[in-house]
Amino acid sequence: MRFSRYSIYYVPDGLLGKFGASWLGWDIQARKSVPFLQIQNTEIDLNQLTEKPRKYGFHGTLKAPFRLKSCKTEKELIADFEGFCRNQSSVSSDKLVLQVINDFLALAPGKQSKQINRLAQNCVTYFERYRAPLNKMELAKRRSKPLTIYQQEMLSKWGYPYVFKDFKFHLTLTGKISKTHVDELLSFLGPKIKPIVGDRFSIKELVLVGEDREGLFHGLIRRKLKY
């Protein structure tokens, strides 16, 4: 399968990974659609609610999606990804909690972690050698949303505006939601999330993912970080 873009993700496994896949309807690791989580006695429409984040799979982004330079190959990227993981330490933070970020719902550490931020920074800088410059369409799409001067600079330099000081690690759960749905979603998700997130959050593995022709992201290779 040929992939149009690649990205470096944290993809949870175990109970959290299974929950995320059934919530979005797409299992990025198994690379297939899965039945939605069964929801009763509520007006929540998972198909509509998760339409935007579904194609990306349940994940935390560490290096935003990028097209491969013409002088680089997927084989080289995979080999470098494996070497990178062997030399990066696992990281941890406070436990994941439900948060409204801008206008969408996500799971994120209760307090942002310097360790995770450093890992993300390393991913951004290390894999920059593989990123093709943004084309006019990609730039226009990014600039269609309001950006600070700093974010515009980061977009020009790194191909993504929300890096370094503006990076906030999170696992997206929904597309844009209205304020009227926030309480219902938090009430519904709270009891389901609490037993599966644990008291601490750790990133012990990274996943290299690829975007197919339909825009769906697939887990290509998962590697452990050093301890």
Q: What DSSP line would sit under 58-102, residue for residue?
A: S-EEEEEEEPBPTT--HHHHHHHHHHHHHTSB-EEEEPEEEEEET
Amino acid in the structure at residue 9? Y
Nearest to 23 by CA among 102, 103, 105, 100: 105
Q: Rounded to two decimals, what is the model's pTM?
A: 0.94
CATH code, residues 5-224: 3.90.1140.10
pLDDT of the residue at 181: 80
Pairing of strands 60-66, 32-33: unpaired
Structural contact between residues 138 and 72, judged by C-beta atoms closer than 8 angstroms: no
CA 108 to chain centre: 11
pLDDT of the residue at 37: 85
Query: What ranges do the domains of the chain cover?
Result: 5-224
Question: What parts of the chain have a pLDDT lower than 50?
Answer: none
Tens of pLDDT, residues 186-199: 888 999 899 999 89
Interior/surface letters 167-179, b for 16+ CB within 10 angstroms, e for the rest: bebbbbbbeebee
Residue-wise DSSP of 90-159 = -EEEEPEEEEEETTEEEEEESS--HHHHHHHHHHHHHGGGGBPPP-HHHHHHHHTS---HHHHHHHHHHS
- Cα separation of 199 and 83, whole Å? 30
pLDDT of the residue at 134: 95
Q: What are phi and psi of 214, to 5 degrees?
A: -90, 0
Structural contact between residues 27 and 57, judged by C-beta atoms closer than 8 angstroms: yes
Residue-wise DSSP of 18-32 = HHHHHHHTEETTTTE
Taking CA atoms, 70 is separated from 4, 17, 131, 133, in Å, by 12, 34, 9, 11
Q: Is 149 exposed, middle or buried (0-12, 13-18, 19+ CB in 10 A)?
A: exposed
Tens of pLDDT, residues 65-118: 999 999 999 999 999 999 999 999 999 999 999 999 988 999 999 998 999 999
